[in-house]
Amino acid sequence: MVTMDGGAAAILTELGQSERIVGTAAPDFFTAFAGAERTELDSIPVLDPGQGNSESVVAAKPDLVVGISSYSFGGFDGTPSVERLQQAGAASLVACDDAPSPVQNIDATYTFIQQAATVFGAQAQGTQLVDRIKAQVAAAAPAPGTAPVRVLALSSAPQTGQPLMTQGGSGLANGIITLAGGQNIAADQDSDFASLSTEQVAALDPQAIVVITGFSPQSDAELTAAIRSSPALASTTAVRENRLVTVPQSITLSPSVLNGQAVATIAKGIHGTE
């Protein structure tokens, strides 16, 4: 079995299937893990440090290829399509992203975990993992009656004269922000990724900014500082009150063992709780 990303590898490891993984792509997804979990994940052979080129995946001769994003199956340049894998004798298992927009939860994560658990006859482990994530989400939920915090999600600093690229309403990130007690100011855009003009951002006035790391070559601190100092955001409540919170894209944009951690991190950051 091959995983197209470290996120899928982590889920399968939680389901007790790590020994079946002959290799993975995108091991950068492991950086959000620590301790014994990270050590176990780091022991998985890396087929491709990038997004999983077709030649490397097919050469591993897997009978099953698993990924947490449909983009990994022909959507990203060089990745194998489902049809190419079928020709090579491999089945595919991928998390579906067909939830109605705007996404309000992380049910896609729970569904994928349960689907994978069923495939491997690991229903008990799947139930335990889902219950653990649900408990983390419940513990992070704001108190009843708490007003949603207007949130802008950014993975790069605004560029002069260009729209701000952010997260739309149809992606898992919108569900995570919602569960954390946030209201994504671009949730009305029916797409995973969205754009807003500087005028729109000023009018919507985000109260908090979620800095999504993992795409920029800058360090987390450098990226956060660049966003904080952007003239396009200077008038926002988020910058004036210095309410910025950093989360990795690997646990925010797609199904992950650590989706509950992402909810908790964002909830703490946008509500200013300890």
**Overall number of domains in the chain:** 2
| Exposure b/e, 110-120, CB count within 10 A at least 16 = b | bebbeebbebb
Indicate whether 156 and 65 sit together in one domain.
Answer: no
Q: What is the CATH number of the domain that holds 121?
A: 3.40.50.1980
Confidence grade of residue 251 (pLDDT, cut at 50, 70, 90): very high
CA distances in angstroms from 122 to 38, 68, 125, 135, 239, listed in the order given:
22, 18, 5, 20, 46
Each residue of 37-61: pLDDT tens digit? 999 999 999 999 999 999 999 999 9
Q: Which of 139, 164, 193 is the last residue of a domain?
A: 139
- Looking at 139, 168, 202, which one is the last position of a domain? 139
DSSP string for residues in the chain: -EESSHHHHHHHHHTT-GGG--EEE-GGGGGG--HHHHHHHHTSPEEESSS--HHHHHHT--SEEEES-GGGTTTSTTPPPHHHHHHTT-EEEE----PPSSP-S-HHHHHHHHHHHHHTT-HHHHHHHHHHHHHHHHHHSPPTTPPPEEEEEESS---TTSPEEEE-SSSHHHHHHHHTTEEETTTTS-SSEEEE-HHHHHHH--SEEEEEESSSSS-HHHHHHHHHT-GGGTTSHHHHTT-EEEEEGGGTSS--TTHHHHHHHHHHHHHT--
- Whether residue 77 sits in one domain with residue 164: no
Question: Do 45 and 29 belong to one domain?
Answer: yes
172 and 117, same structural domain?
no
Percent of the chain topping pLDDT 90: 96
**Domain closes at, from 104, 139, 174:** 139
Shared domain check, 148 and 31: no
Residues 86 and 201 in one domain: no
Shared domain for 205 and 112, answered yes or no, is no
The verdict on 165 and 251 lying in the same domain is: yes
18, 131: one domain: yes
Q: Are strands 208-213 and 244-248 parallel, antiparallel or unpaired?
A: parallel
Pair (79, 149) in one structural domain: no
The pLDDT of residue 228:
97
pLDDT greater than 90 at residue 100: no
pLDDT digits (tens, 9 = 90+) for 177-212: 999 999 999 999 999 999 999 999 999 999 999 999
Domain span holding position 187: 143-271
- The answer to whether residues 220 and 129 belong to one domain is no
| 69 and 14 housed in the same domain | yes
Q: For position 273, what pLDDT does the model report?
A: 61
Kindly compute the dihedral angle of the four CA atoms of residues 109, 110, 111, 112, in this order, to the nearest 10 degrees: 50
